[in-house]
Each structure stands twice: as structure tokens, then as C-alpha cells.
């Protein structure tokens, strides 16, 4: 979803606004991980000299595959991170494209911003290296 922050953009650096975040990332799922709940939380948007700084505190539930038993299991993720966005003269249509190509995060000409890619990356970074369904997962059990 796109957030309209034109009003904040017209204010002086340091001005801030809080918004509620709900972003469905189901279609950003990959082979071993599925977003089974929308990403929800808060974002504090702070006007900077060159754009905005967004402080996210969000959570979601992913379905992962256990490294030991290879079964699917739900994993709750809570994460706090920041992302800077620069002001641009690009139209909104191209900003998500630009972000997906990792060319930077931007606020479009009309003061709209998408948090989608930042949320996706922020959550992926927070995932544990070892994905284990439970503490004492015995691993794959072969039938005798
Ligand atoms: Zn397991």
C-alpha cells in the first residue's frame, strides 16, 4: 500500500508522524518461506533534510521449513528497524520497481511512499539462520 505523506514532506526536518502499517506480503513468499499473516505494526516517519527516515516496529507469522525434520512450522517474527527514503521526482508506478531492483528507497513526486520492499527485507534479515520447529526437534524419523 502507498502512504500519503505530502503534508509531512512540507514540514521542517525533525517533524514526525506515526502510522499504522498493514502490508500483505503473501506474494513475496519464496520456496522455503511463506508469509501466512500480513505484516502489522507501527511506523514513525521522521522528516529529514533529504527525505524521510522510517522507524518500523512490525511483526508477522511465516511458515518455514524445519532444517531438522523438514516439516513446515509457523514462526512468529517481531522486528524493529529503520529505513531511509529520499525524495524523488519519479512517479509512483516506478518506485516499487526501483526498490525491487535495489536502487534505493524513495518518496515519489506526490509525496507517496511504499513500505513494501523495506518490510520484506527487514523481515528476511531477522529470520534465524537455523530454522528449527521446536527446541528438541528429533529430526527426520525413519520408520523401522
Ligand atoms: Zn523439526
The tens digit of pLDDT for each residue in 17-76 reads 999 999 999 999 998 899 999 999 999 999 999 899 999 999 999 999 999 999 999 999
Indicate whether 137 belongs to any domain.
no
Please give the distance, rounded to the nearest whole angstrom, from the Cα atom of residue 32 to the centre of ligand 1: 14
Please give the distance, rounded to the nearest whole angstrom, from the Cα atom of residue 140 to the centre of ligand 1: 8
pTM: 0.85
Please give the distance, rounded to the nearest whole angstrom, from the Cα atom of residue 60 to the centre of ligand 1: 20
| Nearest CA-CA partner of 78 in 40, 31, 129 | 40
Indicate whether 12 belongs to any domain.
yes
Indicate whether 104 belongs to any domain.
yes
Indicate whether 88 belongs to any domain.
yes
81 Cβ neighbours under 8 A, 6+ residues apart: 55, 56, 122, 125, 126
Indicate whether 133 belongs to any domain.
no
Indicate whether 139 belongs to any domain.
no
Residue written as cell 534465524? 128
Secondary element (H or E) of residue 136: none
Indicate whether 134 belongs to any domain.
no
Average predicted confidence (pLDDT) for the chain: 89
Question: For the residues 86-100, what does the mean pLDDT come to?
Answer: 64
pLDDT of residue 119: 96
Please give the distance, rounded to the nearest whole angstrom, from the Cα atom of residue 63 to the centre of ligand 1: 13
Answer left, alpha or beta for residue 9, where phi above 0 means left and psi between -120 and 50 means alpha. Answer: alpha
CA distance 4 to 11: 14
Indicate whether 31 belongs to any domain.
yes
Number of domains in the chain: 1
Please give the distance, rounded to the nearest whole angstrom, from the Cα atom of residue 31 to the centre of ligand 1: 17
CA distance 102 to 79: 21
Chain-centre distance for alpha carbon 89:
24
Please give the distance, rounded to the nearest whole angstrom, from the Cα atom of residue 76 to the centre of ligand 1: 15
Between 42 and 111, whose confidence is greater? 42
Please give the distance, rounded to the nearest whole angstrom, from the Cα atom of residue 73 to the centre of ligand 1: 8
95 Cβ neighbours under 8 A, 6+ residues apart: 88, 106, 108, 112, 113, 114
Amino acid at each position: 500500500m502507498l502512504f500519503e505523506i505530502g503534508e509531512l514532506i512540507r514540514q521542517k526536518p525533525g517533524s514526525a508522524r506515526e502510522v499504522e502499517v498493514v502490508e500483505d506480503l503473501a506474494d513475496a513468499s519464496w520456496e522455503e518461506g511463506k508469509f501466512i499473516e500480513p505484516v502489522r505494526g507501527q511506523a514513525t516517519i521522521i522528516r529529514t533534510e533529504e527525505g524521510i527516515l522510517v522507524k518500523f516496529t512490525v511483526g508477522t507469522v511465516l511458515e518455514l521449513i524445519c532444517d531438522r525434520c523438514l516439516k513446515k512450522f509457523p514462526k512468529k517474527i517481531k522486528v524493529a528497524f529503520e529505513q531511509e527514503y529520499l525524495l524523488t521526482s519519479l512517479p509512483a508506478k516506478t518506485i516499487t520497481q526501483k526498490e525491487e531492483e535495489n536502487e534505493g528507497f524513495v518518496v515519489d513526486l506526490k509525496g507517496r511512499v511504499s513500505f513494501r520492499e523495506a518490510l520484506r527485507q527487514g523481515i528476511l534479515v531477522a529470520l534465524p539462520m537455523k530454522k528449527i520447529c521446536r527446541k528438541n526437534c528429533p529430526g527426520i524419523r525413519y520408520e523401522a
